[in-house]
Structure 1
Amino acid sequence: MADSLLGPSFSSSNIIFTSPLLVKKVHFRSSKSLSMSAIHCHCFSDSNPNPTRPSLLVFSGGTAFNGVVEELKKLTTRVAHVLPVSDDGGSTAEIVRVLGGPAVGDIRSRCLRLSDQSSSEALAVRKLLGHRLPLDPQQAKSECLDALFMYNIAEGEHPLWKGVSRPYRETIRAFLAYFQNEILRRPNESFCFSNGSIGNFFFAGARIFFQSLDAAIFLFSRVSDIPSESLVLPVISTNDRLTLGCELWDGTVIRGQNEISHPTNGFMEPVKKERSSVPALPSRIKRVFYMSSEGSNLLHEVFPTVNPVVLEQLSSVDCIVYAMGSLFTSICPSLVLCGIGEIISSRSCPKVLLLNGSQDRETIGFSASSFVTAITDALNQTYGDPRISLKNSPSQYINTLLVPKEGEIPLDIQCLASQGIFDVVTVDSIHDPKVGIIFDPQSLRQAIADLVGRYMSTNVTVA
């Protein structure tokens, strides 16, 4: 059965379609009878526009789904991007270490992907906020303090300001200067600028100035000109630092998102998302949870409150998507919060899992049903506090799997059927030399359009 796969045993806008939809669907007639047939796609065209574009909510991290974001805008801009704020790797880790607060890297990354690219100034702002400092710590500090902040950027003379008009320049400059001031106010903490993101610095300055993560997102969204219908939502709206922990099936507890997914042995270096030679976990992950970062008991489990806007969006969107990415450190941190599972299980809309194309440190040996089980356990909080755990079945949380063609994750169809999941769609894929098999963005967008189009055509209520 699928549940046993996660147990203690450890084994190794409108769309114009110019060509047929290159996907195949597996229809599960029963757990023993299967058939395969081609999909006929619902086509959306400018000549017969749908008066209401579909609304989606996507649970994701800040990297794997980024490659799909711009393609998805061709289907709809009514997307709520729900992101965790517990990342403690890369330059985000240094900001959190010195200045505290939630991690902003994933949010900044998604905002930039959603930002406007229709004008030269929009591209210039995107380039500025996407710029990273050199990897060498001394060179990074020199560029940041001597060139970017104290002199050239403060006067708007650095080459990165080329094409940025005065209103944008003065707004961005003000919060970079505020960030710099906050760093200088902490002389006992030596801030490492290595590989630092200018966008992260701007975002952190805004968050500290407003004392509000939501206000910082609002400002960043306006500066980067994100479509007004696109929402970037921290799953937890907080001004405090959050620490992610995980418990393995052998009882080991690991503290920190980066230590779980991409351990760096304490060295200050960019987090490498590509497939690498990181050591395997000693046992499979049983669950993830939030940990206290203050007080004497640093391993104490805490239960932060979910962002209420996330719950509002979950209650009304036309489709819920669990994106590809690091299963336990990018997706599950948004699912283990009270209220998320209750609302998702009550919805009758498409609930779609985008299956990873490649294995990673967190999911070595997993099959498709193992992913489903992990998501179900997270939403049910199966291994957490028994007073708040749920008993919902996998099919109440996931009713469709989108699978990249020739992906590495085994499709154990009989186990999926036993979980109540009978809708599996194979989508065209491409090979990325860094991470392996990934979805072809255009084919993925078309597959989502078909699923949501069928739901909206049968939904009696039209917004």
Structure 2
Amino acid sequence: MTMKTYRLKKPRVVVVGGGTGLPVILKSLRNQGMDITAVVTVADDGGSSGEIRKSITMAPPGDLRNVLVSLSDMPKLYEDIFQYRFKQEDHFLANHALGNLIIAAISEMRGSTYDAVQLLAKMMHVDGHIYPSSEKPLILHAVFQDGTTAIGESSIAKERKTIEHVYVTNQENQEEPKAARKVVKAILEADVIVLGPGSLFTSILPNLMIHDIGQAIQASQAEKVYICNIMTQKGETEHFTDADHVRVLHRHLGHQFIDTVLVNIEKVPEGYMDFSIYDEYLVQVKHDFNGLREEGCRVVSTDFLELRNGGVFHDGEKVVDELLRIVYEARV
């Protein structure tokens, strides 16, 4: 008689966002025995990514570069080379990250940023799947409460106005933006979907505003977790409470879909923040636990704070400890 052996499937976690917050969580999630998928925004038009977008029609590489590094096990020296940023006085190459140029080169070789990221993921021994949210570069639009509008991720916050809603369009044509290959499938098969941490209107919502991604997140049976930002952001979430963040997400998808919110309650020490470096941050996000409950959320509030180099970050290990609990509960 032969014995059958059954292998338990790894829990499937999909993390959606962009900016600096996403890699922190992914780095800590790596090596936890998860099947990780990162869905990364392609609406960034600032800095090195924005300059490359002007030269080559491709999804902006910056957030994809940081996510590749966060899920890679390559030696520190290789990581430093990939992340190297040319100096301001280098004129033609000023401020470009070498990894952005490599992604641009392979995108041109392969005719696709999506394919370039898959190839680099193999080269860099990435543990997980990395997909741009769309295979085409997108343009982010904001409509403000006073009826005026702004176009382009990098110009929205500069207006310092209250945002009513955002939406995305294709950079190249008038077609409706579509999710990249395998993104919808990953969302529908996930045990847990994690949004954030990251800029609400410019890193998280651009992904959700791709219609089939928004639809898939609502349709998915996964536990949906929002990691609320620690600080309010200039021109984006000024005066926001944690409940305001969730209200905005729910308003954009027209449905209460967030199940659990992770909220940091540890205080940032007075005078700690170096606002000359982190000039987009203002004050700590205020708490409105009743408001969160009205939005149908379970709240996990604890110390998620990490202080580093004059900046305020989520402590990846503490967040992932909590996510592991949620993953386990979701599977049970």
TM-score, length of structure 1 as denominator length: 0.63
Paired residue for 2:164?
A: 286
Paired residue for 1:309?
A: 182
1:441 offset after TM fit, Å? 1.7
Q: Distance in 2 between matches of 1:369 and 1:115?
A: 34
Structure 2 residue identity aligned to 1:359: T
Whether 1:404 aligns to 2:264 is yes
Which secondary structure state, in structure 1, belongs to the residue aligned with residue 104 of structure 2?
A: helix
Paired residue for 1:76?
A: 33
Paired residue for 2:84?
A: 131
Q: Distance in 1 between matches of 2:83 and 2:309?
A: 23
Structure 1 residue identity aligned to 2:208: L
1:68 offset after TM fit, Å? 2.5
Q: Distance in 1 between matches of 2:233 and 2:8?
A: 41
Q: Are the equivalent residues in 1 in contact too, given 2:168–2:210 (CA < 8 A)?
A: no
Structure 1 residue identity aligned to 2:190: V
Q: Indicate how the Cα distance of structure 1 residues 379 and 434 shifts in structure 2: closer, same or farther if over 3 A, else same.
A: farther
Which secondary structure state, in structure 2, belongs to the residue aligned with residue 339 of structure 1?
A: helix
Q: Are the equivalent residues in 2 in contact too, given 1:248–1:285 (CA < 8 A)?
A: yes
1:349 offset after TM fit, Å? 2.7
Q: Distance in 1 between matches of 2:210 and 2:138?
A: 13
Q: Distance in 2 between matches of 1:433 and 1:129?
A: 22
Paired residue for 1:277?
A: none
Which secondary structure state, in structure 1, belongs to the residue aligned with residue 261 of structure 2?
A: strand
Q: Are the equivalent residues in 1 in contact too, given 2:166–2:201 (CA < 8 A)?
A: yes
Equivalent residues, number? 309
Paired residue for 2:253?
A: 379
Q: Are the equivalent residues in 2 in contact too, given 1:236–1:306 (CA < 8 A)?
A: yes
Taking the TM superposition and a 5 Å limit, the aligned residue runs for 1:116-155 are: 116-117=73-74, 122-136=75-89, 140-141=90-91
Q: Are the equivalent residues in 1 in contact too, given 2:227–2:262 (CA < 8 A)?
A: yes
Structure 2 residue identity aligned to 1:287: H
Q: Are the equivalent residues in 2 in contact too, given 1:59–1:83 (CA < 8 A)?
A: yes
User: In the alignment, which of 180, 200, 203 is matched to residue 103 of structure 2?
Assistant: 203
Taking the TM superposition and a 5 Å limit, the aligned residue runs for 1:36-55 are: 51-55=8-12
Unaligned runs of 5+ in 2: 1-6, 268-283
Higher fraction of strand:
2
Paired residue for 1:327?
A: 200
Structure 1 residue identity aligned to 2:261: L
Structure 1 residue identity aligned to 2:69: L
Whether 1:233 aligns to 2:131 is yes
Q: Indicate how the Cα distance of structure 1 residues 99 and 246 shifts in structure 2: closer, same or farther if over 3 A, else same.
A: same
1:430 offset after TM fit, Å? 2.2
Whether 1:419 aligns to 2:299 is no
Whether 1:244 aligns to 2:140 is yes
1:434 offset after TM fit, Å? 4.2
1:308 offset after TM fit, Å? 3.9
Q: Are the equivalent residues in 1 in contact too, given 2:68–2:121 (CA < 8 A)?
A: yes
Q: Distance in 1 between matches of 2:20 and 2:63?
A: 7
Structure 1 residue identity aligned to 2:36: V
Paired residue for 1:369?
A: 243
Identity of aligned residues (%): 25
Superimposed CA distance per residue, residues 206-237 of structure 1 (whole angstroms, 9 cap, x where no aligned partner): 1011111221011211221212xx11111101
Q: Indicate how the Cα distance of structure 1 residues 87 and 377 shifts in structure 2: closer, same or farther if over 3 A, else same.
A: same
Q: Distance in 2 between matches of 1:345 and 1:314?
A: 10
TM-score, length of structure 2 as denominator length: 0.86
Which secondary structure state, in structure 1, belongs to the residue aligned with residue 211 of structure 2?
A: coil
Structure 2 residue identity aligned to 1:233: Y
Q: Distance in 2 between matches of 1:206 and 1:292?
A: 22
Whether 1:444 aligns to 2:319 is yes
1:293 offset after TM fit, Å? 4.5
Taking the TM superposition and a 5 Å limit, the aligned residue runs for 1:329-348 are: 329-348=202-221
Superimposed CA distance per residue, residues 236-255 of structure 1 (whole angstroms, 9 cap, x where no aligned partner): 012xx422111111112111
Q: Are the equivalent residues in 2 in contact too, given 1:403–1:426 (CA < 8 A)?
A: yes
Q: Distance in 2 between matches of 1:102 and 1:65?
A: 18
Structure 2 residue identity aligned to 1:429: L
Q: Are the equivalent residues in 1 in contact too, given 2:168–2:209 (CA < 8 A)?
A: no
Which secondary structure state, in structure 2, belongs to the residue aligned with residue 342 of structure 1?
A: helix
Q: Indicate how the Cα distance of structure 1 residues 218 and 405 shifts in structure 2: closer, same or farther if over 3 A, else same.
A: same
Q: Distance in 2 between matches of 1:294 and 1:205?
A: 20
Q: Distance in 2 between matches of 1:449 and 1:427?
A: 16
Structure 2 residue identity aligned to 1:288: V
Structure 2 residue identity aligned to 1:231: H
Q: Indicate how the Cα distance of structure 1 residues 124 and 105 shifts in structure 2: closer, same or farther if over 3 A, else same.
A: same
Q: Are the equivalent residues in 2 in contact too, given 1:62–1:107 (CA < 8 A)?
A: no
Unaligned runs of 5+ in 1: 1-49, 142-191, 264-279, 296-300, 381-391, 458-463
Structure 1 residue identity aligned to 2:233: D
Paired residue for 1:214?
A: 114
Q: Are the equivalent residues in 1 in contact too, given 2:19–2:199 (CA < 8 A)?
A: no
Q: Which has the larger radius of gyration?
A: 1
Taking the TM superposition and a 5 Å limit, the aligned residue runs for 1:161-176 are: none
Q: Indicate how the Cα distance of structure 1 residues 244 and 341 shifts in structure 2: closer, same or farther if over 3 A, else same.
A: closer
Q: Are the equivalent residues in 1 in contact too, given 2:14–2:192 (CA < 8 A)?
A: yes
Paired residue for 2:156?
A: 260
Paired residue for 2:280?
A: none
Q: Are the equivalent residues in 2 in contact too, given 1:403–1:424 (CA < 8 A)?
A: yes
Which secondary structure state, in structure 2, belongs to the residue aligned with residue 201 of structure 1?
A: helix
Q: Are the equivalent residues in 1 in contact too, given 2:205–2:249 (CA < 8 A)?
A: yes
Q: Indicate how the Cα distance of structure 1 residues 111 and 77 shifts in structure 2: closer, same or farther if over 3 A, else same.
A: farther
Structure 1 residue identity aligned to 2:120: F
Which secondary structure state, in structure 2, belongs to the residue aligned with residue 59 of structure 1?
A: strand
1:292 offset after TM fit, Å? 5.8
1:77 offset after TM fit, Å? 4.3
